[in-house]
Structure 1
Amino acid sequence: MRLGPLPEEEWDDEVISALSRMLPAERRNAEKAGNVLTTMARHPALTKAFLTFNVHLLFRSTLTERLRELAILRVAYRRNCAYEWDHHARMGIDAGLTETEVEAARGNAQITDDFDLAVLRAVDELDEKSNLSDETWAALSERFSERQIMDFVFTVGAYAMLASAINTFGIEVDTRH
């Protein structure tokens, strides 16, 4: 671990305020916030800005929860981010993904739904080229509105960035769920 969670004795009103963007009051503490947020708490201004954006992606996005989680899982797999994988595999199941679909996000199972395949291909293209091919854009456009495509691209980018931070800082998977 290169950068660990902020020790509880260093938590102040600025940290609590930053975390209030996402967490209910009972989770705004070093024990219940989780390793990512307690590490981000070391930089409250950045945390506040990122969580404002992330709250949109998680709670106000035009994407369905299921497709959002499928995309995030593919990002986590491609970026080799155990923390993101662990967290979002559970969220994906809660959002309606099957165990087979979760495993398909890492290439360990087959998905037969053409649109799910397009979503996985789109994540791959964004990760490899920071762009979508015309074919993939067309496939997404069959079911996604313009706003959904925008939310999709920003979701993939945000979670790729978050995976980079998690991996670089050495943030460990939470042992409590």
Structure 2
Amino acid sequence: MKRLRPMPPAQLDADARALYDRINAGPRGASMLDDQGALVGPFNAMLLSPALGDPLQELGAAIRYRSSMTDRCRELAILIVAAHWSSTFELQVHEKIATGLGFTDAQLAAVRTGEPLALEDPEEAAVLRVTRALVTNGDLGDEEYTLLPAPALFELTTLTGYYATLALQLRVFRV
């Protein structure tokens, strides 16, 4: 059962409405609105504290739209985090994106279950291995650390922490 009610724009105070407008005007746009115009997923909860919600959603936008990761690497990493946290909302949204990027049903199933997954692209294989180590161990061994250059590791650890935060919030608010 949901713990957080939808917050249509007419019910928001000025700060929450300004954040709502920024989220809605961004690249996520109307895809994150319900039929009443309220934000869905993690974005509804961000309205509870615009002072924290705004930088959090901006970090998410930077990860999704301004990082140097390929779309496939990014979505693969997001799905690994979502699967680790059993985050249904994240899985549903990002599996749809991953399918559009050419991931097969069998590949997505392997990500969901943590089964071995052979990926032809060496960067994707490295992202798979590193992200699984991050969510499982909260750290990297020397071998995993050397699989990606330091800037890519920074982006990947940031992505992992961000989507783990969202998964926790989605779980607590029963989204």
Q: How does 1:89-168 map to 2 (within 5 A)?
A: 89-107=95-113, 111-113=117-119, 115=122, 116-139=124-147, 141=148, 145-168=149-172
Aligned partner of 1:175 in structure 2 is none
The share of aligned pairs that are identical, in percent, is: 25
Contact 2:63 2:155 in 1 (8 A): yes
Q: How does 1:1-150 map to 2 (within 5 A)?
A: 1-24=2-25, 27=30, 31=37, 33-107=39-113, 111-113=117-119, 115=122, 116-139=124-147, 141=148, 145-150=149-154
Aligned pair count? 167
Mapped to 1, the partners of 2:20 and 2:101 lie a distance apart of 24
Amino acid at match of 2:103: L
Mapped to 1, the partners of 2:47 and 2:95 lie a distance apart of 24
Per-residue CA shift, 1:122-150, capped at 9, x if unaligned? Answer: 222212332111111222x2xxx422221
Contact 2:41 2:89 in 1 (8 A): no
Q: Which secondary structure does the structure 1 equivalent of 2:118 belong to?
A: coil
After TM superposition, give the deviation of residue 108 of structure 1 in Å.
7.0
Mapped to 1, the partners of 2:154 and 2:20 lie a distance apart of 26
Q: 5+ residue gaps in structure 2?
A: none
Mapped to 2, the partners of 1:117 and 1:93 lie a distance apart of 17
Q: 5+ residue gaps in structure 1?
A: 172-177
